[in-house]
């Protein structure tokens, strides 16, 4: 089937290579499966396949795929039914930007190409400008009533003063993902100088410092907000052993839990405003009663919540996407 034959039912997913998907837990795969169930044509490309030539619309060398129903990646979970072809992004019914972090220069350029496609008539979720305007760690500072004491700086003296004030702190790079580069320094200040040097690279790189939250032992909760409304369950990612990081990529154990009243309070305060800005899907990270991160690039945990609670997050996402397109 050519995407030109049924524009109204064609969804383009801009994502990582399909061959790299871990389908048992991949949220983009869950979105695709629900979209296919609703009769949409599935198209896929990577950011490197986007193209914009003078005097022409933004295009992508994409492939049309269909799902095979296989449950394991090795069995081949998709098949290509049309070879890569140059396609004007404005001709898709909707584009879902699902490239995983890091948010590097190439990601930044991709949002500009997608922004141009928007000006040509494409509908992109999450909105490219909103992706640029909401760095996932910095964005929490706009909602300071919900966060722990936080500092963003390049200066070693600032970090040392913050440590002297709060004693037990967390340091992390602004562009980290999956728990990478996160350090804890206790009241003894052990290795603080070395950690600062590692993260700020002699003052060349900005880092974030936060007061340590002991509630992390109960999990770093992922609160999904779709179309401004919270999913009724969270995934608490609980650190294992001596780890301080709950991230699943760092070995954390994911446990689905009902939405806590405080989680709901935070989600209802932020959700409608973030949706108004063009963020259809957001993943709020909450430790205890405290907001720690606002994830906007490719929030996950759809399948873990579905598998443990039966709540169909992908269906809620597709409902919100279809409502936004009306």
Name which of 151, 162, 134, 160 is nearest 225 in CA terms.
Answer: 134
Catalytic residue among 222, 247, 263, 304: 222
State the Cα–Cα distance between residues 242 and 219, nearest whole angstrom.
14
Joined together, the tokens standing for residue 188 give 């003894």
Spatial separation of the C-alpha atoms in residues 274 and 186, rounded to whole Å: 35
**Distance, CA of 55 to CA of 316 (rounded, Å):** 39
Give the CA distances from residue 282 to residues 10, 15, 72, 119, 180, in Å, rounded to whole numbers and listed in that order: 23, 17, 27, 23, 20
293 is catalytic: yes
Cα–Cα distances (Å) from 303 to 194, 208, 245, 254, 321, in that order, read: 39, 30, 21, 11, 18
Catalytic residue among 172, 200, 221, 263: 172
Contact between 104 and 175 under an 8 Å Cβ cutoff? The reply is yes
Catalytic, 237? Answer yes
Is residue 6 a contact partner of residue 41, using CB atoms and an 8 Å limit? yes
Q: First vs last Cα of the chain: how many Å apart? A: 24
Q: Is 211 a catalytic residue?
A: no
Q: Rounded to 5, what percent of the chain is helix, strand, coil?
A: 40, 30, 35
Catalytic residue chosen out of the listed positions 63, 98, 99, 137? 137
Structure tokens at 198: 């590692």
Other CB atoms closer than 10 Å to residue 288's CB: what's the count? Answer: 17
Does the annotation count 222 as an active-site position?
A: yes
Give how far the C-alpha of residue 273 lies from the chain's centroid of Cα atoms, to the nearest Å.
17
Q: Considering the candidates 98, 127, 221, 245, report the single residue annotated as catalytic.
A: 245
Beta strands in 23-134 (DSSP E): 41-45, 50-51, 59-67, 78-88, 94-97, 124-125
Q: With H, G, I as helix, E, B as strand and everything else as coil, classify residue 286.
A: strand
38 is catalytic: no
Please tell me which residue in 237, 247, 263, 304 is annotated as part of the active site.
Answer: 237
Active site residues: 137, 172, 222, 237, 245, 285, 293, 295
């Amino acid at each position: 089937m050519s995407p030109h034959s049924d524009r109204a039912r064609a969804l383009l997913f801009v994502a990582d290579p399909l061959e790299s998907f871990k389908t048992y837990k991949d949220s983009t795969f869950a979105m695709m499966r629900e979209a296919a169930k609703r009769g949409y044509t599935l198209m896929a490309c990577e950011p490197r396949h986007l193209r914009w030539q003078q005097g022409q619309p933004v295009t992508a060398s994409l492939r049309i795929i269909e799902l095979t129903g296989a449950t394991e990646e090795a069995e081949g979970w998709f098949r290509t039914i049309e070879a890569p072809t140059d396609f004007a992004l404005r001709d898709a019914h909707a584009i879902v930007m699902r490239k995983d972090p890091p948010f590097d220069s190439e990601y930044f350029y991709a949002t500009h190409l997608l922004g141009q496609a928007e000006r040509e008539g494409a509908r992109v979720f999450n909105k490219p400008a909103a992706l640029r305007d909401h760095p996932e760690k910095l964005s929490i500072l706009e909602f300071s009533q919900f966060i722990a004491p936080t500092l963003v700086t390049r200066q070693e003296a600032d970090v040392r003063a913050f440590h002297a004030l709060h004693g037990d702190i967390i340091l992390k790079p602004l562009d980290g993902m999956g728990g990478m580069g996160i350090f804890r320094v206790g009241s003894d200040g052990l290795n603080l100088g070395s950690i600062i040097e590692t993260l700020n690279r002699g003052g060349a790189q900005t880092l974030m410092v936060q007061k340590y939250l002991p509630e992390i032992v109960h999990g770093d909760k992922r609160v999904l907000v779709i179309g401004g409304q919270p999913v009724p369950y969270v995934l608490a990612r609980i650190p294992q052993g001596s780890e301080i990081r709950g991230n699943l990529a760092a070995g954390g154990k994911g446990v689905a839990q009902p939405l806590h009243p405080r989680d709901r309070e935070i989600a209802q305060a932020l959700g409608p405003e973030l949706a108004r800005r063009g963020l259809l899907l957001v993943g709020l990270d909450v430790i205890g009663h405290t907001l720690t991160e606002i994830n906007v690039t490719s929030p996950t945990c759809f399948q873990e919540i579905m598998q443990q609670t039966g709540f169909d997050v992908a269906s809620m996402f597709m409902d919100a996407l279809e409502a936004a397109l009306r």
